[in-house]
Amino acid sequence: MFDVIIVSHGRYAEAMLESAEMISGRQEQVKTYGLFPGDSVDEFREKLIESIGESLKKGEVLLLSDMQSGSPFNSAVAAMETLSFRHVAGINLPLLLEIFGHRKFKNLESVHKMIFELGPITLVDVNKFLEGI
């Protein structure tokens, strides 16, 4: 089973893990990091790089960031200059649940591929959905 690291602005990463665990149960080998107003981006990046390095000593890592081009995302991209791991931006709760449901049985490459197959169906136009009922 590979490690999952979730990074975000504010408490989003922590809240996503908390919500996912409410649905799928306690998760092992998951770390969350939030960047808050007033935090040093340089310190956040250093802490993240150290954490990814520690996880890589045990195996593979899937890093999930809240959005592309934000400081948490950019910190993860900086880590990619020296460390080898998978990084997916734009994580949402349905995808996180799928990751947690499959990572015990599938390797990182299979789960990574699945994320991009399922991504589009995690968004629902509820107005259009209700029209079909």
Residues 79-106: what's their mean pLDDT?
97
Torsion of CA 40, 45, 47, 50, to 10 degrees: -160
The domain ranges of the chain are 3-131
For domain 3-131, give its CATH number from 3.40.50.300, 3.40.50.510, 3.90.1010.10, 3.30.390.50: 3.40.50.510
Q: What is the pLDDT of residues 13-54, one digit of tens each?
A: 999 999 999 999 999 999 999 999 999 999 999 999 999 999
What mean pLDDT do residues 68-92 have?
98
Q: Which helix (H) or strand (E) holds 5?
A: strand 3-9
**pTM assigned to the model:** 0.95
Rounded to whole angstroms, how far apart are CA atoms 72 and 65?
A: 7
Dump strand ranges (E) for 43-110: 61-65, 86-89
pLDDT in tens, 94-129: 999 999 999 999 999 999 999 999 999 999 999 999
